[in-house]
Amino acid sequence: MKTMTPNVGQDPVEHSGLLRLYSALFYAGSSFLITVVNKTVLTSFRFPSYMCLGIGQMIATLVVLYAAKMSKTVQFQDFDRTIPLKIFPLPLLYVGNHITGLASTKKLSLPMFTVLRKFTILMTMILEVYILRKTFPKRLVYSVVTIVLGAMVAASSDLAFDVEAYSFILLNDAFTAASGVYTKKKLGTEGLGKYGVLFYNALIIVIPTLLASAFTGDLHKAVTFEDWLEATFIFCFLMSCFMGFVLMYSIVLCSYYNSALTTTVVGAIKNVAVAYIGIFVGGDYMFSWTNFLGLSICMSGGLVYSYFTFNQKSSGSEAGAPELKIHITEESTGKVSAN
């Protein structure tokens, strides 16, 4: 987990580009693998508590990072009274993301869940402008719009409107976008860095989550689960816990070397790729040309975004590109104007 450093004589610009690409691929691969492992634990073995699985992933994060800190493999600030203020509002955003995500998943069909989740990308772009004061080249803006358009086409055959469900999913998008942007911002906080953000976010969240699990009865269901003596289940459960840490680390790493927007887009591309795989494997995909066309548009936008992002030779090349600038005035109350 040591921070990668360039080899002697290596072009720093090329090295930076490779780190951006490798961190994005690491995140995409980790996200795919944990999906498979979690599906095995929760579906194949019918483990009754997704909340306790999340607690296990948080504990794994704490154990790995604490052991690494004690062995001086990584460094981050020791806990003191300033930590909660430094890490705020990440724990609240994580909890809000978790709750609204579960609520929207129950109330929405899979196609509409997929399309509305893509609005996270647009929200992330807007929040990066507001919070991180970024500007984006027009080509990246157009590719993001293409991703969202493709998702809308893919779900156009299932447009059942549900006010409550739509409210939950849009709130979930907002929490996800805010979490990504604030993670990027907190990575620059003195004393925290990549590992401090991971460790203290998990530390602050794990106790309230454990209490909520006990209060709702989830903890009792998990403790009395009958397959705890099954070696295969134990292996899959521990693998899920470890992959939970790997996923969280890969998200932070991708956000560190890239932007929060790039991390969000990489996640979207991964989801579309999984949908493509589902056409041929699994047997639960209902093929339609409209859905397939939408997926293809979405994937095309994601690949174009990735090409422009990871082929930047220097920061100057991006600065020379036409930009869509969103101006924020001091007296404005949320109004923006685009040139």
Task: Express each pLDDT in 3-28 by its tens digit.
Answer: 444 443 444 444 477 888 899 999 99
Non-local CB neighbours of 152 within 8 Å, separated by 6+ positions: 115, 118, 294
Q: Do β-strands 323-324 and 326-327 pair in parallel, antiparallel, or remain unpaired?
A: unpaired
CA-wise closest residue to 107 among 148, 163, 59, 56: 163
Task: Express each pLDDT in 99-139 by its tens digit.
Answer: 777 666 666 665 666 667 788 888 999 999 888 888 888 88
User: Among 145-159, 183-197, 212-226, where is mean pLDDT lowest?
Assistant: 145-159
- Cα 226 → chain centroid: 32
- Burial code (b: 16+ CB inside 10 Å, e: under 16) for 104-136 equals beebbeebbbbbbbbbbbbbbbebbbeeeebeb
Question: Coil, strand or helix: which one is 338?
Answer: strand
Q: What is the H or E stretch that residue 273 is in?
A: helix 260-280
Q: What is the pLDDT of residue 232?
A: 93
Q: Report residue 39's pLDDT band, with 50, 70 and 90 as the boundaries.
A: confident
Alpha-carbon gap, residue 191 to 129, rounded angstroms: 25
Q: What is the H or E stretch that residue 337 is in?
A: strand 337-338
Task: Express each pLDDT in 228-258 by its tens digit.
Answer: 989 999 999 999 999 989 999 998 999 888 8
pLDDT mean over 170-181: 90
Query: Helix and strand tally (H, E) in the chain?
Result: 14, 4
Token pair of 101 as six digits: 């995500």
Q: Do β-strands 337-338 and 326-327 pair in parallel, antiparallel, or remain unpaired?
A: antiparallel
CB atoms within 10 A of CB 137: 19
Is 167's pLDDT higher than 60? yes
Q: What DSSP string runs through 118-186?
A: THHHHHHHHHHHHHS---EEHHHHHHHHHHHHHHHHHTTT-----HHHHHHHHHHHHHHHHHHHHHHHH
DSSP 192: T
